[in-house]
Structure formats: C-alpha cells, structure tokens
Structure 1
C-alpha cells in the first residue's frame, strides 16, 4: 500500500508571510525508489531542498516568485503539501494524473488539511486538480492576470483564499510574482528577508 504523505509545516508557519498563513500546493511526488516512501516524504524532500542537497526547479521558481532567495527562510514560513496524497510513480510517470477515485480522496484530504491548519492564502501550482468538484466557484483574476483563477472557501468560521496557478515549469515568472504579490496585499513588496532589519 502506498504511503499517504503528511503536509510539511514550516517552523515559522504561524508567522507566515506579510503576516498571513500561506499554504503552497504542488501536484504529486515521484521517485525511482532510491529513498523510502513514507508519510514524511514531503518533509524529507523539503529538508533536502533547504540544505541544498536537491535543487529542483519547482521549488526554486516558487521561492523566487515570493521574493525570497533563501530556501530555508521561505519554506519554513509555509505549509506545503501535494494534491495527490501518494507517490504518482517513477520519473517516467511524473506527468501522470490521478484517477477519479484518487482525486476524490485528494479533495477530501485537501479540505481536511485546510480545516486543520487554517491558511489564509492557498497557492495551488497546478491546473490538474479536481478542486472544482468541491463546489468552489473559481473565477479569473483581474487583467492582466486573467489566466489564473481564484476562489474562497469558508468552513468552521475560517475563510481561505485559494489561487490556482500554473505549474512553475510552464508558468510566466513575472505573472507568478504579480499574482502572489497581489494576493499578499502588497503589489510592490520585496522579500521579507531582504527588508527585515539586520
């Protein structure tokens, strides 16, 4: 049986970015089997990214889009998880898509994670999810960012704004930065690590 991956919660998640709790959502993990697949695979991956052992473009592009230069500073401020709860497969299968049954499980898990951790902003870096089945009314952002969509989810008195973007591999870097800055409420913001006092 495949392991269900737990979300990675950064040590400074409650501090957040611009004072807001932020969740970053990818699509899935893949592996050739050289590392154990267990519930802590997301934390294992982020540890490798933060200590510089792994340099995947996915994580670097997202970090840069938020205006950070340090992986450790950025990833420790966010909640990270993939939409697909389990390993999608090997490298050759990394562009695969969840079955309808898997997507149903993924949607339930998505809501459960939001209920548990209560992020104010959720950035979904893939268009392959089936989050529309949750009844979220995604609408295009205002021009010139209308290629991306957003929605709000309210449950148990908490509202999360969900912004669905493209996977970093095919996204326009400037558009990602503009969208993220707009959602954070500071279109002209620089990274907090760059503006914080010495």
Structure 2
C-alpha cells in the first residue's frame, strides 16, 4: 500500500495500464476539436511540475522550524500564514497545521475521497486515494504506519485527522536533532511529502 510502484497497484484502481498514452490521446483529440487550448495545457503542466508540489510544504515546515514568530502564526491561522508565502488557491482554501511532538504523532487521511492540500503538497499519491488507506488509517493507524516503516513508541499518542472539502491538514514534523542553525534550503531538502502527511518522520541526518 505505501509504495507507488505498479506491482503494488490496488485492486480497486481505476487507472488504465497505460494512462500516459491514453491521456495523450485524449489531449490530442480535445485539441483537434478545438475544445482545449494547447497553451493553457502547457501552462497547467508547467504549474504542477514546477510551482505546485511537496517543495512548497517543505518550505513552510523549514520556516516553522527556523522562525518562532512564523510558527506561532502557522498554528494560529495556517491558511493566512501559507498564503503570505504565496501558497494558496484551489484545494488550499482552509489549511490547518498539525504539530508532531514527542508525545503525539499526527496522521492525515480523507475517508470519503482524497481531499488534500494541493498548493502545499501537489497532487495526492495513489496510495492516499486507495480504499485500503482510507479505511485502515482510521481503523488501525499503527499497523498502517508500520507498513510505511514507521514504528511509534507505545507512549506516543497517535491521532488521525480526516480531511474534508472544508478543511485540509498539513503535518509539521519534528525538526531532527543536529539541524539547528541550518539554512531554510537545507532544512527543506530533508522534508518529504510523506512526513507532511504523517506516514513518515524526518530522520536526523547522518
């Protein structure tokens, strides 16, 4: 479940075996019929490849680690705080930041569909949208995390948050030991998409 490899495809997946070819064929047909502007498509692709993705969320996390004032603002009104950094728009209207601590770990799921903070994390991975993750993240979250390779200590509380069309969550992982004083760019490079969903932590650098 936690891997984005073809061999691990979920049995309920509706994706065709050759999605890239089908998408290209559909795109060509829509362009040929004048229903889609190729320039608009190029702009959308450019946006999702270079402007929207986990690097945005990682920048938010890194800033929260470095700047106490921003951290306070983030946990007070995350939507306003991330908007100040230029991260806003569709699927990012109502953001709530969740803080991982020594005593609590947060895990995000959308049990009804796949609500997800696109401006901060990009398009959700296949496993996030799968029936298995959506059901089991609520029913047996510790087992789910173990399948991602994350074993929480028994004294760490685990809370699962259910995203909705009204609220989307961003997990702020704990800053790893040994990174105090690092630059924002170096810190952001450590932060993964999965850590901001809650299925991973940010390990201390070697």
Category of TM-score, reference length = shorter chain: under 0.3
Higher gyration radius (CA): 2
Normalised by the length of structure 1, the TM-score is 0.24
* TM, length-normalised to structure 2: 0.24
